[in-house]
Amino acid sequence: MDKNEYRDWLKLNSIKNLGSKTIQRLLSDLGKPNNFLGNDSVKLRSINYISQNIKEEIVANKDNDFIEQQLQYLEEYDVRLISILDDEYPKLLKYIHQAPILLYIKGEILPEDENCFAIVGTRNPTNYGKLVAKEISCGLADAGFTIVSGLAFGIDKIAHLGALERGGRTIAVFGTGLDTVYPTSHRKIAEKIVNSGAIISEYGLKEKIEKWNFATRNRIISGMSKGTLVVEGAKTSGALITAKLALDQNRDVFAIPGNINNPKSEGPNFLIKIGAKIVTNINDILEEYQTIIKYKKEEVPELDSDELIIFDMLRENERELYFNQMIEMTQLSVPKLSVILTNLELKGVVKRESANKFLLI
Whether residue 300 has pLDDT greater than 70: no
For 354, counting Cβ atoms within 10 Å of its Cβ (0-12 exposed, 13-18 middle, 19+ buried), the class is: exposed
C-alpha to C-alpha distance for 298 and 311, rounded to whole angstroms = 14
Assigned domain for 354 exists: yes
Q: If you average pLDDT over residues 218-224, what whole number do you get?
A: 98
102-107/116-120 β-pairing: unpaired
Q: Residue 103: which residues within 8 A CB-CB, separation 6 or more?
A: 81, 82, 89, 200, 201, 202
Q: Which of 248, 272, 289 is the last residue of a domain?
A: 289
Do residues 9 and 132 both lie within one domain?
no
C-alpha to C-alpha distance for 265 and 258, rounded to whole angstroms = 5
pTM of this prediction?
0.81
Cβ atoms of 165 and 194 closer than 8 Å: no
Do residues 312 and 274 both lie within one domain?
no
The domain total for the chain is 3
Q: If you average pLDDT over residues 193-212, what whole number do you get?
A: 95
Do residues 142 and 279 both lie within one domain?
yes
Residue-level pLDDT at 48 = 93
Do residues 131 and 250 both lie within one domain?
yes
DSSP character string of 175-222: SS-TT--SSGGGHHHHHHHHHTEEEEESSPTTPPP-TTHHHHHHHHHH
Assigned domain for 308 exists: yes
List, for residues 104-154, the tens digit of each pLDDT value: 999 999 999 999 999 999 999 999 999 999 999 999 999 999 999 999 999
Do residues 220 and 256 both lie within one domain?
yes
Q: Which of 72, 88, 120 is the last residue of a domain?
A: 72
Residue-level pLDDT at 54 = 93
Give residue 318's pLDDT band: very low, low, confident or very high (50, 70, 90).
low
CB burial string 95-111: b at 16+ within 10 A, e below: ebeebbbbbbbbbbbee
φ, ψ (nearest 5 deg) of residue 322: -90, 155
Assigned domain for 236 exists: yes
Q: If you average pLDDT over residues 287-301, what whole number do you get?
A: 65
Q: Residue 179: which residues within 8 A CB-CB, separation 6 or more?
A: 73, 77, 79, 205, 206
Task: Please give the mean pLDDT across all residues of the chain.
Answer: 92
Q: Which of 21, 46, 72 is the last residue of a domain?
A: 72
Domain of 224, in residue numbers: 111-289
Do residues 159 and 34 both lie within one domain?
no
Give residue 299's pLDDT band: very low, low, confident or very high (50, 70, 90).
low
The H or E element that residue 274 is part of is: none
Sign of CA dihedral 8, 72, 67, 94: positive
CATH number at 177 reads 3.40.50.450
Residue-level pLDDT at 305 = 81
Do residues 266 and 327 both lie within one domain?
no
The fraction of the chain above a pLDDT of 90, given in percent, is 75
Do residues 176 and 248 both lie within one domain?
yes
Do residues 275 and 179 both lie within one domain?
yes
Do residues 319 and 180 both lie within one domain?
no
Assigned domain for 335 exists: yes
Assigned domain for 276 exists: yes
The fraction of the chain above a pLDDT of 70, given in percent, is 96
Rounded to the nearest 10°, the torsion over CA 78, 81, 86, 87 is: 40
Q: Look at 26-35, 55-64, 247-256, 352-361 and tell me which has the smallest mean pLDDT.
A: 352-361
CATH number at 322 reads 1.10.10
Whether residue 231 has pLDDT greater than 90: yes
Do residues 50 and 147 both lie within one domain?
no
Do residues 59 and 138 both lie within one domain?
no
